[in-house]
Amino acid sequence: MSKQSTKETKDNGTTGIEMLAGVIPPVHVNLIVQITPGHDGQESHGLPTATIESLMAQEPKLLKWLASNHNHQVGFIADPVGSLAKAGIKLPLEALATLRRLHEDKAAANVLPPGVKLASLSTSVGKDSKPVPKGQAKESQGSLRHSRAKGRK
């Protein structure tokens, strides 16, 4: 008589018994971000009209800077306020402080939940741009693969 194991492993490395016990299997996310021009005008997020108008006037400069380098796009996602200065966008210190506060207020909601790992990040800039589909991404087209995110090339 052969002995069968009650510990069958699923494809993700989590056993059936572990799943029954409530262990959450790892989830890998492929994130696609498209940075587009424009402001819907519906929400000011507490920004004065003058600040919004100033940002809109400088938007072409920012989009050109973002489109010039994938690292600029990733940096903008991680630290949009810091990226404004790097792109040469000029705003009053009060407006920058408001933007930073708004970003920090939403930062907690932008964190991946426990057990979720970022497998890839694909970015694009512009109204008509298309993020590179999974499996077709190349670094020159705006893709950050999980292995590169961990410091491996």
Domain ranges of the chain: 28-149
Encode 70-95: b = buried (16+ Cβ within 10 Å), e = exposed: bebbbbbbeeebebbeebebebeeeb
Q: Which of 45, 149, 147 is nearest to 99 (CA)?
A: 45
Q: Name residues of the chain where pLDDT drops below 50.
A: 1-10, 132-153
User: What pLDDT digit, counting tens, does each position of 4-40 carry?
Assistant: 344 444 455 667 777 677 776 778 888 888 888 887 6
Predicted model pTM: 0.65
Q: Residue 123 forms beta bridges with which residues?
A: 33
For residue 75, give the nearest of 23, 144, 4 by alpha carbon. 144
Q: State the pLDDT at residue 22.
A: 73
CB 35 within 8 A of CB 123: yes
pLDDT at 64: 94
DSSP code string of 43-111: --TT--HHHHHHHHHHHHHHHHHHHT-HHHHHHHHH-HHHHHHHTT----HHHHHHHHHHHHHHHGGGS
